[in-house]
C-alpha cells in the first residue's frame, strides 16, 4: 500500500485518433527524478508525504523492473532499449491500443522484438472495451520472454477484466543476454537509470521445482472474425452504457445493412456466451436492457428478437427481391418462434409476435411512397413545377433531388419508429438507430446527407465493402444464415431510381463511376500515403500498368478527386462509426482535412496531363 515511483509518460500519442499534446505535456528529463508532494487525500492512505517522480526503474533483491507507457513501445527510440542495456530485466506496459483490422500482429511483433534483440521479459496490459467514442480497445494482453510469447490474453470478450499469468525464469534472460556480444558492448556505454530500491523479492530460494512456461504460437483472428467480434463488443458497450433498450436498423436487403444485422446477431452470441461462462455483470445488464428481472439469455436468436428491430422501407423503386431478402434474413436472425399458450410455435412470418407475457417486434415492412409524394407535393404547390426522374425526361438535378427525398424520409421514419416502437408495446426506453454505410462510400461521398446513413452509431462505417463481402460469406458458414447467399450475389444498389420493366436500372458502382475495390486503393493512398492527385497518379501508373493505360489511370484519378472534394462536406456529419481502417474519412478526429476544396484541381490535373502526354 505504498507508492514506490510515479513514472510520467515520455512519448505522447499525437497522430490519427490521438491528440494527447492538446491536454498533456511529456516528461522531457531523461534519467531525472524529482520529489513529488502527494495530495493530502493520498497521504492519508499511504502514510507518505513525498514520492519519487521521474524517469527511473525499480530494483528488487532479485531483478530490476522498468516501465513503458503505451505509445513508447511504438516509438523508434523506445525506452526499453536503453533500460534493457542498463540491466532492466522486466518491462511493463500499461497500454491503450485500439483495434484496427489486421493490426494485432503488429502489436505482438513489437512486443516480441523488444525482447528478441535485448533479452528480457515484457508484460503488456491493454485496455478493453469501448471508451465512450469511436474506438474499441481489444485487449490482447501478453507476456513475452526473449522474443517469444509465453502467455496470450483474449482479443475480444465482454469481460471487463482479464488476468494473465505466467511463471518465468530470470536465469533464461541472463543466459540469453550473455550470448549477444554487441548488446553487452553497448551496455558498457549506457547512461545508468536512477534505481528505486524495493525490499521485496519476486522469487524465492526454494522455487527450483516451479515449472516455467514454454513458448506458445500466437493465434490471430482472421479479418472476418475481427469484424464479427470487435464491432459486436463495441455495440454491447454502447447499448448497456446508453441505457437504451435495443437497436433499430433500416434493413434494405443489401450487403451493408445485412452485415450490420449480422454484427448485432454476433453481439447476442457474445452476450449468451458471457452469461453461460458466469459473467454476472453481463447478465445484470441484459436483464436491465430487456426490462425483466429474472431473464437469462441463452439463445442468441431469442435475445435478438428482444433487442433488435429491423425495418424494410419500400418505395415504388424497390424490387420484390430486396424485400424478400430483408424479410428472410430477419426471420433467420430471430427465428425459433414463441409458443402460444402451449399450442405450438408461431410461423415467423408476422412482424409482431405475441406470447402470454410479451409482444415482440423484430421486422417491420412499410411503404414510404405516400410520404414522398406529400413532400414533393409541397414543393410543387409552392414552385408550380413538378420534378421528374431522368428516366421520365427530367434533368440530373431533378433526378438527384427526387432520390434524396426518398433517402431522407427513410431517416425520419427510422427515428420515429426507434422512439415509439417500444411505446406501442407498453415497454420503457427507446432504440438506438444503426447506420450502415461503409468506409468506401464515406470516402467517395456516395451517400445522401441526412439519409439512413445518419444514425446514432454505425458499426461498419470503418470497414471496406470488400471486407464486408468476406464477412457475409463468413456468417453464411459460421451462423448458417442461408438468406445471406442471395444478398451476397445481388448487385449493390440504392434502389432510388425507377425500375425498368420491373428490373433494376441503378447499381452503386455504375453510379459512382468506380468500383469498391478501386475505392479501397484510393482511400489508402489518400490517407495513409498522403497522396494528392499527382502523387496518386504516379503510384497507380505503376500499380495498374497491366490493366490500365496511363490515360485511363489519369481519368480514374481525376474522377475520384472531383467526387472526393465535392463531397468532403458530408464527412462533417458522418455518423460516429467503429474505427477499423486507417483510411477512415472520419472528420471528427481522424482525418482532419478541409471540407471545402477547389474541385477543379487545375494545377494538379495539368501536371497529370503533362505526364500522360
- Calpha distance 597→384 (Å, rounded): 35
- pLDDT at residue number 377: 95
Flag whether 428 is in a domain. yes
- pLDDT at residue number 453: 81
Domain check: are 272 and 401 in the same one? yes
Residue that is last in its domain, among 462, 494, 512: 512
Domain count, the chain: 3
Q: Look at strands 247-250 and 308-314 and give their pairing.
A: parallel
- pLDDT at residue number 497: 81
Confidence label for 360 from pLDDT (cuts 50, 70 and 90): low
| pLDDT at position 338 over 90 | no
- Calpha distance 56→350 (Å, rounded): 67
- Calpha distance 51→67 (Å, rounded): 17
> CA torsion angle for 297, 300, 305, 307 (degrees, to 10)?
70
What sign does the CA torsion over 139, 144, 149, 152 have? negative
612 φ, ψ to 5°? -60, -45
Cα–Cα distances in angstroms (integers) from residue 26 to residues 13, 246, 325, 336, 434, in the given order: 10, 42, 54, 57, 39
- pLDDT at residue number 447: 86
| pLDDT at position 343 over 70 | no
Q: Calculate mean pLDDT across residues 595-609.
A: 94
Q: Calculate mean pLDDT across residues 453-462.
A: 93
Cell of 585: 474519412
56-65, 251-260, 463-472, 511-520: the lowest-pLDDT one? 511-520
**267 within 8 A of 306, measured Cβ to Cβ:** no
**Beta-bridge partner residues of 64:** 59
Domain check: are 72 and 94 in the same one? yes
Domain that holds residue 183: 20-197
Domain check: are 495 and 557 in the same one? no
pLDDT by residue (tens digit) across 151-183? 999 999 999 899 999 999 999 999 999 999 999
| pLDDT at position 358 over 60 | no
Flag whether 2 is in a domain. no
| pLDDT at position 264 over 50 | yes
- Calpha distance 406→403 (Å, rounded): 5
**Beta-bridge partner residues of 126:** 95
Task: Give the CATH number of the domain where residue 318 resides.
Answer: 3.40.50.620
Flag whether 443 is in a domain. yes
pLDDT by residue (tens digit) across 23-33? 999 999 999 99
Domain check: are 471 and 556 in the same one? no
Confidence label for 335 from pLDDT (cuts 50, 70 and 90): low
Domain check: are 449 and 536 in the same one? no
Percent of the chain with pLDDT over 70: 95
- pLDDT at residue number 513: 87
Residues shown for the chain: 613
Percent of the chain with pLDDT over 90: 78
Who wins on pLDDT, 254 or 453? Answer: 254
From the list 411, 456, 416, the residue with the least C-alpha distance to 575 is 456
- Calpha distance 96→79 (Å, rounded): 17
Domain check: are 184 and 229 in the same one? no
- pLDDT at residue number 347: 36
**35 within 8 A of 82, measured Cβ to Cβ:** no
Flag whether 9 is in a domain. no
Domain check: are 318 and 410 in the same one? yes
- pLDDT at residue number 212: 80
Q: 3-class SS at 58?
A: strand
Alpha carbon distance, N-terminus to C-terminus of the chain: 74
Domain check: are 448 and 581 in the same one? no
- pLDDT at residue number 63: 96
- Calpha distance 518→508 (Å, rounded): 13
Cα–Cα distances in angstroms (integers) from residue 199 to residues 58, 89, 171, 196, 202, in the given order: 10, 17, 20, 10, 10
**123 within 8 A of 90, measured Cβ to Cβ:** yes
pLDDT by residue (tens digit) across 393-444? 999 999 999 999 999 999 999 999 999 999 988 889 999 999 999 998 888 8
Flag whether 475 is in a domain. yes
- Calpha distance 199→178 (Å, rounded): 27
- Calpha distance 278→159 (Å, rounded): 10
Cell of 275: 452469461
Q: How many CB atoms lie within 10 A of CB 246?
A: 25
User: Structure pTM?
Assistant: 0.91
> CA torsion angle for 217, 223, 224, 226 (degrees, to 10)?
80
pLDDT by residue (tens digit) across 266-317? 999 999 999 999 999 999 999 999 999 999 999 999 999 999 999 999 999 9
Q: Calculate mean pLDDT across residues 446-475.
A: 92
Q: Calculate mean pLDDT across residues 185-197.
A: 94
Confidence label for 340 from pLDDT (cuts 50, 70 and 90): very low
Task: Give the CATH number of the domain where residue 42 resides.
Answer: 3.60.110.10
**509 within 8 A of 516, measured Cβ to Cβ:** yes
pLDDT by residue (tens digit) across 34-59? 999 999 999 999 999 999 999 999 99
- pLDDT at residue number 257: 95
Flag whether 95 is in a domain. yes
Cα–Cα distances in angstroms (integers) from residue 262 to residues 22, 133, 232, 334, 413, in the given order: 38, 22, 9, 11, 22
> CA torsion angle for 506, 510, 512, 515 (degrees, to 10)?
130
Cα–Cα distances in angstroms (integers) from residue 379 to residues 36, 68, 94, 251, 375, in the given order: 69, 63, 59, 29, 7
| pLDDT at position 353 over 90 | no
* 438: Cβ contacts below 8 Å, ≥ 6 apart: 256, 460, 461, 463, 464, 465, 468
Q: Look at strands 50-54 and 33-37 and give their pairing.
A: antiparallel
Domain check: are 156 and 293 in the same one? no
51-60, 503-512, 563-572: the lowest-pLDDT one? 503-512
Residue that is last in its domain, among 480, 512, 544: 512
| pLDDT at position 125 over 60 | yes
Average pLDDT of the chain?
A: 90
Domain check: are 530 and 445 in the same one? no
Flag whether 282 is in a domain. yes
Residue that is last in its domain, among 483, 512, 541: 512
480 φ, ψ to 5°? 55, 40
Domain check: are 497 and 524 in the same one? no
Domain check: are 181 and 292 in the same one? no
Flag whether 240 is in a domain. yes
| pLDDT at position 464 over 50 | yes
**Beta-bridge partner residues of 458:** 577
Burial group, residue 561, by CB count within 10 angstroms (0-12, 13-18, 19+): buried
**33 within 8 A of 94, measured Cβ to Cβ:** no
- pLDDT at residue number 448: 87
Q: 3-class SS at 111?
A: helix
Amino acid at each position: 500500500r505504498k507508492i514506490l515511483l510515479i513514472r510520467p509518460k515520455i512519448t505522447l500519442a499525437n497522430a490519427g485518433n490521438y491528440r494527447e499534446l492538446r491536454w498533456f505535456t511529456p516528461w522531457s528529463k531523461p534519467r531525472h527524478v524529482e520529489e513529488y508532494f502527494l495530495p493530502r487525500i493520498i497521504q492519508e492512505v499511504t502514510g507518505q508525504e513525498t514520492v519519487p517522480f521521474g524517469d527511473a526503474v525499480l530494483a528488487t533483491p532479485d531483478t530490476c523492473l522498468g516501465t513503458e507507457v503505451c505509445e513508447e513501445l511504438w516509438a523508434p527510440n523506445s525506452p526499453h532499449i536503453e533500460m534493457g542495456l542498463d540491466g532492466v530485466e522486466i518491462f511493463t506496459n500499461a497500454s491503450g491500443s485500439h483495434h484496427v483490422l489486421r493490426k494485432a500482429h503488429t502489436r505482438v511483433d513489437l512486443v516480441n522484438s523488444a525482447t528478441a534483440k535485448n533479452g528480457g521479459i515484457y508484460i503488456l496490459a491493454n485496455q478493453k472495451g469501448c471508451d465512450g467514442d469511436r474506438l474499441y480497445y481489444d485487449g490482447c494482453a501478453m507476456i513475452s520472454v526473449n522474443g517469444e510469447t509465453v502467455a496470450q490474453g483474449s482479443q475480444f470478450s465482454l469481460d471487463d477484466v482479464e488476468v494473465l499469468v505466467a511463471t518465468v525464469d530470470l536465469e533464461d534472460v541472463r543466459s540469453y543476454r550473455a550470448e549477444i556480444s554487441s548488446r553487452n558492448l553497448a551496455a558498457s556505454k549506457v547512461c545508468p537509470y536512477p534505481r528505486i530500491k524495493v525490499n521485496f523479492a519476486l522469487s524465492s530460494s526454494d522455487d527450483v521445482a516451479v515449472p516455467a512456461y514454454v513458448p506458445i504460437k500466437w493465434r490471430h483472428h482472421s479479418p472476418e472474425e475481427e469484424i464479427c467480434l470487435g464491432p459486436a463488443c463495441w455495440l454491447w458497450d454502447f447499448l448497456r452504457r446508453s441505457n437504451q433498450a435495443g437497436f433499430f436498423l433500416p434493413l434494405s436487403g443489401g450487403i451493408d445493412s445485412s452485415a450490420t444485422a449480422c454484427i448485432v446477431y454476433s453481439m447476442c452470441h457474445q452476450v449468451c456466451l458471457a452469461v453461460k461462462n458466469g459473467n454476472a455483470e453481463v447478465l445484470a445488464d441484459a436483464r436491465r436492457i430487456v426490462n425483466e428481472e429474472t431473464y437469462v439469455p441463452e439463445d442468441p436468436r431469442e435475445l435478438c428478437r428482444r433487442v433488435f428491430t429491423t425495418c424494410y422501407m419500400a418505395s415504388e423503386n424497390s424490387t420484390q427481391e430486396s424485400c424478400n431478402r430483408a424479410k428472410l434474413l430477419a426471420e433467420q436472425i430471430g427465428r425459433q418462434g414463441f409458443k402460444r399458450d402451449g399450442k405450438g410455435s408461431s410461423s415467423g412470418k408476422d412482424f409482431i409476435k405475441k406470447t402470454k407475457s410479451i409482444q415482440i417486434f423484430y421486422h417491420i415492412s412499410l411503404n414510404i411512397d405516400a410520404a414522398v409524394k406529400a413532400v414533393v407535393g409541397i414543393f410543387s404547390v409552392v414552385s408550380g413545377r413538378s420534378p421528374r426522374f431522368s428516366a421520365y425526361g427530367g434533368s440530373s438535378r431533378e433526378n438527384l433531388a427526387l432520390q434524396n427525398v426518398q433517402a431522407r424520409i427513410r431517416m425520419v421514419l427510422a427515428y420515429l419508429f426507434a422512439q415509439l416502437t417500444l411505446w406501442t408495446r407498453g415497454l420503457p426506453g427507446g432504440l438506438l438507430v444503426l447506420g450502415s454505410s461503409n468506409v468506401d462510400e464515406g470516402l467517395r461521398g456516395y451517400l445522401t446527407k441526412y439519409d439512413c446513413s445518419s444514425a446514432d452509431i454505425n458499426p461498419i462505417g470503418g470497414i471496406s465493402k470488400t471486407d464486408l463481402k468476406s464477412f457475409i460469406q463468413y456468417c453464411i458458414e459460421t451462423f448458417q444464415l442461408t438468406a445471406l447467399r442471395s444478398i451476397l450475389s445481388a448487385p449493390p444498389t440504392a434502389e432510388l431510381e425507377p425500375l425498368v420493366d420491373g428490373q433494376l436500372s441503378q447499381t452503386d458502382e455504375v453510379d459512382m463511376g468506380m468500383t469498391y475495390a478501386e475505392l479501397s486503393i484510393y482511400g489508402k493512398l489518400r490517407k495513409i500515403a498522403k497522396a494528392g492527385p499527382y502523387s496518386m497518379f504516379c503510384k497507380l501508373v505503376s500499380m495498374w500498368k497491366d490493366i490500365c493505360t496511363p490515360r485511363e489511370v489519369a481519368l480514374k484519378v481525376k474522377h475520384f478527386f472531383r467526387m472526393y472534394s465535392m463531397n468532403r462536406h458530408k464527412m462533417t456529419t458522418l455518423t460516429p462509426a467503429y474505427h477499423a481502417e486507417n483510411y477512415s474519412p472520419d472528420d471528427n478526429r481522424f482525418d482532419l482535412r478541409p471540407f471545402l476544396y477547389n474541385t477543379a484541381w487545375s494545377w494538379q490535373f495539368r501536371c497529370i496531363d503533362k505526364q500522360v502526354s
